[in-house]
A and B are shown apart, each in its own frame.
Chain A
């Protein structure tokens, strides 16, 4: 027994030492943050910035938790609406317009991404929906369906068997593998391959899978279940694709990025990048992977953004936790259309920062 615990201590110490050396060897990238980036109309305020993305013209889209999610009473059910809004800004940060005022799906923002044709996609983890807007701001396609109403839950006793294990989708699959199709449970992100196939990270709730759809929205397949084995997920929180159609998943709870081919076959995993919350892959000839790390629940103690090669080699990292300029408060979104010029959306600081990396 004593020997075992000694061994455990030694092992732990060894792991810690290895981690420390890995951490300290990461180069620090110097950077700046542009002050007063977004010019808001007097009567519009950002709340938590869940998503930020640019289109090919440099227009900026911000999906934010703002206003109040409103509940209407109906018998023992509550009907909810509102709580998130989508805004567009020009490259100088001037407010252009609001998109999707009052749409049914805007409940609790989680991501906005812009595809190759400049369509604007939002992912809402409250309504369990993914909505595709055309560049003119009209709705083109919907994935998922908003729950009709909220019922009041009585919490399960702690340590109850299977608590938090997730659903098998009623199809006998392993926990978290979800049902077939677009029955999302707090989906977290969306991405596309070169053919326009759609990948949805699903996500934040009882599912732990990646769902793949045809460009027209027809369900193709999903992969993953809850766990820590290769190909399993513990909160697949963000997703990005490279030019070859490989899929990078921020497997937040497992502190790793998993890389799959477009059919869900595990290719590799990337570790040593903290707790990955959101990913972005740049679009140039030489693609880079950015991954934000959030090490505490409040965005006040432990945060950074890592810059990596697609093969997982860490180039460097930058940023720290806090509320001031250049500090990071629960980064939930990165846009990296232009190399070394990032837009970062923060939950706990209610803002978008434009970070410019100084590259030698």
Chain B
């Protein structure tokens, strides 16, 4: 354990983000950056509204970021890298609303879906690590600690960010959406317009103390926006004038 502690300290000193948050069990002995595909670009940019949740405001290549409580939150997390040219894949989510993914800003031409990988899900995920930058996965059942560690080690080696949608032992960062509040809809009038969502981030290393923010997901007119300044009347369910039926 002392070895892992030493590594974490070194990395905080200057080594850069690609080394941060490695579990002791999978700590390789050699310099890790040499083995990743992107030693020069260790991070992926995210949508500005999500930046306050992530250490350094960026999504680190090779890290594991677990998302619970909201599918749209996971899609929003993928949207930033996708817009910056990264490839994304979503594994094991047959119910994924592809239209919502596109509305939130994911580029369809660089998004691959593997809706039903069945028992080979971890083989499929491992194969995707070879060429896809962000892989979101909803495993079909409970994932054993060993299997989770193996996949995380592989993701780290390949410089791919793993985004488990559901419980995942040992994730570097855990994002949880809660307390959704919708606007634009009331008793029989209007329609869903925008949603305020609280997002809490907890993790290890510099993310250990936890961060919390409120975002509009989706924001009025689509996309994602920070919501902290926009409290007040927007929170009240406001009927959409004219659309009332």
Whether A and B are associated in the same complex: the answer reads no
